[in-house]
Chains A and B, each alone.
Chain A
Amino acid sequence: MNGRNGKNGDGPVLRVHMGEGVVARGPHIILSPGIGSCVALALYDTDERLGGLAHVMLPETAVLAGRGAKRGDGDGAERRPLILSPFQYADTAIITLLEMLRALGAAEQRLMAKLAGGARMFPSYNGGSVGMGEQTAANVRSLLERKGIRLAGWDLGGTHGRTVEFHPGTGRMVVTAQGKEGREL
């Protein structure tokens, strides 16, 4: 992550890369470029003008273990996935983001979520089975549902990368696919 001043009077820009997450108040902007199979998970409380974004790499470890070792290891052995960052897996990413937001005064019942990413960059990979990105997206959605957090917008799946610009103060999310106009969620 690094900060720089935004244009047009917007606040500083915080960049969030793979396995990272950040919480900020408006008018900051959180930018996550080059999202492929990962999922950008944004949670926000507009009353507090507070929001956060996590660049989630993979589904929760239990789901991941269920995928087997098809693409993880060459030897078919099942291993406990390594946890290198709180934002690496869906479940810990949501818990961590929630804790950070609560610590800054967000009320869980007011929180809303927006999601983008979860693409399958190479359409024929995995022999037609569910791709890692789709699985991460589905997992994040079901975890949010279980926590009773309303999903206010999403742009998931497909076969293209995305750049996500999130405005934590207002919950505005602009998703830009390669070579296309930005789409506002």
Chain B
Amino acid sequence: MNGPTLYSEEQLDYLKEVMNIGAGNASTALSQLMGRDVVIEMPRILEVSIAEAHSLFGGAEEPVVCAGMDLVGDVAGTLFFLAQDEEKNKIEAYVGKYLNGAMKKEARESAFEEVANIIAGVFLTAVHDYTGLHVYHTVPVVVRDAVEALFEEPISTVFTAAPKAVIAEIEFVSLPDGMRALLSMIPTPAALEKILGSMKGVRQGYGMGE
């Protein structure tokens, strides 16, 4: 990351905390759906300028499977649930197996979309419980394409209102096989302000106010 950051370390830590709490609940849901342990890695908060934005994707042109959702309510933005082809197949196989073959072929094919729907719902409920903000998501739309192409519209939108885009990510890893999937949130600058604005209330609520 180059150049001055827009947000203080405390603010970015708070965003990390919000992500962590949402992801904790989401990983429990994912674990139950797949019938295996799921751990989360430390949330990543990435703050990039226009010139740095492409570095997020490392020039990767390999397609990924992505369930894209809009955030609506108090917080506007985009929520992506992403996995490589192989990982997506694993998720669908685990979910199918766990449900003991009760799923028909069509249902198995939309399992990724269902998983994304559930994960996003649980994640945002936890974010609501923690921050007091009402955030919902639109129905996921699953596509398969280059990750850079997928992120262009939400990132372009952010840069109309702020010189830096903030992307908050959580990676889920299932055990013991190491299946990986990523939940990525791109709030609009106004939405990010609202999330960060909830910090004071949360801190005071926990007896941690100034």
Interface-facing stretch out of B9-17, B55-63, B200-208: B55-63
- Checking B74, B75, B150, B161 against A36 with a beta-carbon cut-off of 8 angstroms, the contacting residue is B150
Which DSSP category, helix, strand, loop or mixed, fits chain B's interface? mixed
Q: Is the CB of A125 within 8 A of B68?
A: yes
Minimum C-beta distance from B170 to chain A (A): 21
Q: Is the CB of B152 within 8 A of A36?
A: yes
B162 within 8 A of A: yes
Q: Is the CB of A79 within 8 A of B148?
A: no
Q: 1/0 contact trace for B57-73 toward A, CB 8 Å?
A: 10101010000101000
Query: Across the interface, which residues of A come within 8 angstroms of B139, CB to CB?
Result: 124
B32 within 8 A of A: no
Q: Is the CB of A73 within 8 A of B189?
A: yes
B20 within 8 A of A: no
A137 within 8 A of B: no
Q: Is the CB of A125 within 8 A of B159?
A: no
Q: Is the CB of A161 within 8 A of B146?
A: yes
Q: Is the CB of B53 within 8 A of A17?
A: yes
Q: Is the CB of A37 within 8 A of B156?
A: yes
In the complex, A159→B144 CA distance in Å? 10
Q: How many residue-residue contacts, CB under 8 A, span A and B?
A: 127
- Checking A17, A33, A84, A122 against B61 with a beta-carbon cut-off of 8 angstroms, the contacting residue is A33
Count of A interface residues, CB-CB < 8 Å: 42
B interface residue numbers (CB < 8 A to A): 49-51, 53-54, 57, 59, 61, 63, 68, 70, 74-76, 138-139, 141, 143-153, 155-157, 159-163, 188-191, 194
* 24 residue pairs bridging A and B, Cβ less than 8 Å apart: A17-B53, A19-B53, A20-B51, A33-B61, A33-B146, A34-B152, A64-B160, A71-B157, A74-B76, A74-B188, A74-B191, A82-B161, A82-B163, A84-B163, A85-B51, A88-B50, A121-B145, A124-B141, A161-B148, A162-B149, A178-B63, A178-B144, A178-B146, A178-B149
